[in-house]
Amino acid sequence: MRKLLKDFLCQGRRLEEIDRQEGHFGIKEGRIVFKIAKSLKDFSVVVEIGAYKGKSACFIAEGLKGLSSRLYCVDTWFNDGGMRQARMDTFPDFLRNISPWSGKIIPLRGFSADIRKAWPLERKIDFLWIDGDHAYQGVKKDIDDWLPLVKDGCFVCFHDYREYSGVKRAVDEKIFEGKLRLVESKGNVFLAKKPIQ
């Protein structure tokens, strides 16, 4: 019982530490992706599209702690996809921020469409987190490209569903078409699952 309480308090402190990093992500959202990652079984494959300086990646990687699961982070690390910041190389900051979890995180640098083309088709995904290009066409392409690799019944989640009309439109279309099933919309995180065929 004391160990459980100690683990719980340590975990809370670690999430608060991650929250001190710079990023487009808050602790409430961090707790959501952390919990999803923690619920996954060993040897899971997690993909994040849009990592920036690594904040959401660290929350996810913290949830994978103690497992042989891996988080693949896909990004150009050049503030692409209509970001409000100017073009700059964010990769050095990413590498510095994720260093405590570097054994868990595999960076894949490039445009998501190109990384997808090189992705081994047999490597199926247990959790897909999309926070890359926020324009309608970009989100739609990421879903069309990556969804076929996600295992049936697994989480496909999006950031900025409420704030970006392009994200909302692309996601709503997939829900309408039955390609995604809404689980919950929590703050700025939209949780869906790939339906079981």
Q: How far is CA 165 from the centre of its chain?
A: 19
63 part of the interface to ligand SAM, by CB under 6 A:
no
What part of residues 81-110 is at the interface with ligand SAM (CB under 6 A)? 81, 83, 90
Q: Which is nearer to ligand SAM, 136 or 181 (CB)?
A: 136
Expressed in angstroms, the distance from the first to the final Cα of the chain is 41
Binding span for ligand SAM by CB under 6 A among 12-20, 71-79, 176-184, 185-193: 71-79
78 part of the interface to ligand SAM, by CB under 6 A:
yes
Q: Which is nearer to ligand SAM, 101 or 111 (CB)?
A: 111
Considering only residues 131, 140, 156, 174, which one is a binding residue for ligand SAM as defined by CB under 6 A?
131
140 part of the interface to ligand SAM, by CB under 6 A:
no
Residue 46 φ then ψ, to 5°: -115, 140
Considering only residues 19, 62, 75, 126, which one is a binding residue for ligand SAM as defined by CB under 6 A?
75
62 part of the interface to ligand SAM, by CB under 6 A:
no
Q: Which is nearer to ligand SAM, 24 or 181 (CB)?
A: 24
Q: Which is nearer to ligand SAM, 45 or 129 (CB)?
A: 129
183 part of the interface to ligand SAM, by CB under 6 A:
no
Helix 55-63 vs helix 27-39: crossing angle, to nearest 10: 40
Provide the binding-site residues for ligand SAM, judged by CB under 6 A: 23-25, 50-53, 55-56, 74-76, 78-81, 83, 90, 111-112, 131-133, 138
